Amino acid sequence: MRLLFCFAPLLLLTSAAHAKTPQAIEQELVKAARRLTYWADYDGDARLSAIDSLARAGDKLRDKLLYYTATEPSTLTYAFPALQREHITISTAADGRMRIYSWDTLEGGTMHYFENVVQFRAGAKVGSRRLIIPKPDDNPDAGHLYFDLFPVQRGGQTYYLAYGQATYSSAGCYQHVKALTIENGQLNPDAKLIQTQSGLRNTLGFEFDFSSVMNRPERPVRLITYDPKTRVLEIPVVWADGKVTAKRIRYAFNGTVFEKAK
- pLDDT tens, N- to C-terminus, the chain (262 residues): 333 433 344 333 334 445 799 999 999 999 999 999 999 999 887 667 899 999 999 999 999 999 999 999 999 999 999 999 999 999 999 999 999 999 999 999 999 999 999 999 998 899 999 998 655 444 457 899 999 999 999 999 999 999 999 999 999 999 999 999 999 999 999 999 999 999 999 999 999 999 999 999 999 999 999 999 999 999 999 999 999 999 999 999 999 999 999 8
The bridge status of strand 172-183 relative to strand 145-154 is: unpaired
Of 90, 99, 104, 98, residue with least CA distance to 33: 104
pTM across the whole model = 0.90
Of 175, 152, 166, residue with least CA distance to 226: 152
Of 235, 238, 237, residue with least CA distance to 250: 235
User: Angle 125-129-134 (CA atoms, 0-180°, nearest 5)?
Assistant: 150
Q: Are the beta carbons of 175 and 206 closer than 8 angstroms?
A: yes
Q: Around Cβ 216, how many Cβ atoms within 10 Å?
A: 12
- Residue type for 42, please? Y
Tell me, what's the pLDDT at 18? 58
Q: At what angle do helices 50-71 and 22-40 cross, to 10 degrees?
A: 160
Tell me, what's the pLDDT at 15? 43
Tell me, what's the pLDDT at 248? 98
Tell me, what's the pLDDT at 49? 83
Tell me, what's the pLDDT at 4? 40
Tell me, what's the pLDDT at 47? 65
Question: Using CA atoms in the order 34, 127, 23, 36, what is the torsion angle rounded to 10 degrees?
Answer: 0
How far does Cα 56 stand from its chain's mean position?
20
Query: Residues 6 or more apart from 87 whose CB is under 8 A from it?
Result: 33, 103, 104
Query: Residues 6 or more apart from 228 whose CB is under 8 A from it?
Result: 94, 150, 151
CA distances from 123 to 139, 182, 185, 212 (A): 33, 10, 7, 45
Tell me, what's the pLDDT at 48? 76
Of 159, 223, 145, 215, residue with least CA distance to 191: 159
